[in-house]
Copies of this chain bind each other. A is one copy, B any other.
Amino acid sequence: MSFHVYDTTLRDGAQQEGMNLSVTDKLAIAPLLDELGVGFIEGGWPGAVPKDTDFFARAATELTLKNSVLAAFGATRKVGLRASEDPQVLALLHSGAPVVTLVAKSDVRHAERALRTTAEENLAMITDTVAFLVGEGRRVVLDAEHFFDGYRFDAAYSRSAVLAAFEAGAEVVALCDTNGGMLPHWVTDIVGDVRAVVGPDAILGMHAHNDSGCAVANTLAAVDAGCSHVQGTINGYGERTGNADLITVVANLELKNGRTLLTGAGLTEASRIAHAISEITNISPYARQPYVGASAFAHKAGLHASAIKVDPDLYQHIDPRLVGNDMRMLISDMAGRATIELKGRELGFDLSGQGEVLTRITARVKEAEANGYTYDAADASFELLLIEEMMGERPQYFDVESWRTIVERHGHRGTVALAEATVKLEAGGERVVTTGEGNGPVNALDQALRLALTRIYPEIESFGLIDFKVRILDQMHGTDAVTRVLIETTDGQTSWSTVGVGPNILEASWEALTDSAIYGLIHAGVNPR
């Protein structure tokens, strides 16, 4: 029996708070899912959601899928209508999707209170709709909504809903933990019961939500108990706490249970694909996400760094390359020489023979961290420090004479304050004086600096600030509080982070801004003029 990996990012994932996918977004995500190699891509609810109707219409001509088939999601027929006369059911048929996934009530309370019909009519709705679509040549998946809660309330009724679907010709019945409250041992027991009732050949599926923090484990428990169809979403997107994170589920099943589930590029492209999808959904990636998160293989503890260098497999549950991710060493005050050597290697600097340089860098990092700097989120600043210690100094692109910011507000609460900044510097033999405006002093400083440098280094035009974080650090060495600023800059293709520290937020920001410009120019291959 083949195993189904069923992605519902475009339908259930899109229910996430703050997510709003356009047809174009969906048409951009589907090829990535196909590339990953999922078996099924649930595209939306044609007939009920106008843009989903458009998606299926455009997909028919614009999408060429190699590994996946499209599924159209919809509901069983309305109470009292014939399936063949229900416009919502006909829209599913007309979507052209080879697979139709029908959501049906399998909790008797939902049939009675939400649909306001009888338990019997609900079963007839399942039978009729499945039989009609199968008769029209569609493969049908039945999503048994609220199955687990229903089963714990009235098991016989929930089972009869599953049996009705299989008897009418459904290929799969997916058992849904719609409210997400299940715990793994409940799933084990209930799926085991259902498996005994439906026999060994029926394909059962699992659809889990993460409200108990167990979506992945519940899916694994269901597979162990006999499910061979798993539903989930990329990055665990979904309503409330989200759906089961499909990549985590698949990685556990492939890398730890020895199955082969994906038919495309597979897990080695998982990190890239997960991040590419988060670019399209415009939802910041979650650094702590299992397998594909930016922090998933990042190590901070100095304690372990020397051992990690010798034997990385003792400190990671899998080789990160298996999911297209990388081990990263974070530079922190707990770091020793071994961490810094590894970090250097990651950035392309071989420090292995250079004991003296390594000692100097380690000492500088420790001193800087004692003063409030942090390099674990500021790779670019750390690289500038490495370059300084290895080359003797950093490239001198410009020489700052002075800068000034003025922020003022006239009038009462609600009146807008104005910010401007003036920068005076020398670059390429020219003295430049520029003024920038912004909605705040850092923004104004950034404008003025970029204006001043663009004249000499036009490459800087493509750089833009994308993130700015501020942290007040108290009592460093019992003196006054200092401010730490982290900024992230992009050139449109890649991004880098720099850090600045000072008693004054604008001084700290200025340091991070100028370091960012220098790093960007070095990496653009520009020589000081």
List A residues at the B interface (Cβ < 8 Å): 15-18, 20, 22-24, 49, 107, 109-110, 113-114, 146, 179-181, 183-185, 210-214, 216-218, 220-221, 224, 236, 239-242, 245, 248-249, 252, 256-257, 282, 286-291, 293-301, 304, 307, 310-311, 314-318, 330, 332, 334, 374, 376-377, 399-413, 416-417, 419, 439-442, 467-475, 480-481, 483, 502-507, 510-511, 514
Nearest CB of B to A485, in Å = 9
- A507→B409 contact, CB < 8 A: yes
Most buried by B among A15, A407, A511: A407
A290/B213 contact (C-beta < 8 A), A224-B185, A240-B298, A301-B239 known:
yes
A403: min CB distance to chain B, Å: 6
Given contacts A17-B295, A18-B377, contact A181 B318 (CB under 8 A): yes
A359 CB to closest chain B CB, in angstroms? 21
Q: A262 CB to closest chain B CB, in angstroms?
A: 17
Tell me, rounded to whole Å, the shortest Cβ–Cβ distance linking A366 to chain B. 11
* CB <8 Å contact, B184 and A217: yes
The distance from the CB of A160 to the nearest CB of chain B, in whole angstroms, is 19
Complex: how many Å from CA A474 to CA B468? Answer: 9
The answer on a CB contact under 8 Å between B216 and A214 is yes
Our pick among B110, B216, B467, B469 for the contact of A217 (Cβ within 8 Å) is: B216
Q: How far is the CB of A170 from chain B (nearest CB, A)?
A: 21
Q: Measured between C-beta atoms, what is the minimum distance from A163 to chain B in Å?
A: 23
Measured in the bound complex, the distance between the Cα atoms of B298 and A17 in whole Å is: 8
Q: Which residue, of A179, A314, A316, has the highest number of chain B Cβ atoms within 10 A?
A: A314
Q: Is the CB of A214 within 8 A of B211?
A: no
Alpha-carbon gap, A480 to B467, bound state (A): 11
Q: A368: shortest Cβ distance to chain B, in Å? A: 13
Given contacts A17-B377, A403-B408, A469-B472, contact A507 B417 (CB under 8 A): yes
- Chain B residues contacting A109 (CB-CB under 8 Å) are 314
Q: Give chain B nearest CB distance to A313 CB in angstroms.
A: 9
Q: How far is the CA of A412 from the CA of B297 in the complex (A)?
A: 39
User: Would A474 and B483 be within 8 Å (CB), given that A405-B407, A411-B401 are in contact?
Assistant: no
Cβ A24 vs Cβ B504 within 8 A: no
Please, how many angstroms separate the alpha-carbon atoms of A110 and B429 in the complex? 59
Would you list the 9 A-B pairs with minimal beta carbon distance, nearest first?
A181-B317, A217-B217, A404-B408, A440-B504, A470-B470, A213-B216, A114-B307, A439-B503, A213-B248
By beta carbon, the residue of chain B nearest A298 is: B17
Asked if A442 contacts B300 (CB within 8 A), the reply is no
Residues of B within 8 A of A332 (CB): 20
Contact with A211, one of B210, B212, B290 (Cβ below 8 angstroms):
B290
Interchain nearest-CB distance for A218 vs B (Å): 8
Find chain B residues with CB under 8 A from A402 CB: 408-411
**A399: B residues at CB distance < 8 A:** 412
Q: In the assembled complex, which residues on chain B have CB atoms less than 8 Å from the CB atom of A110?
A: 307, 314
Q: A22-B473, A469-B472 are in contact. Are A114 and B314 (CB under 8 A)?
A: yes
Q: How far is the CA of A317 from the CA of B183 in the complex (A)?
A: 11
Question: Would you give the shortest CB distance from A47 to chain B, in whole angstroms?
Answer: 13
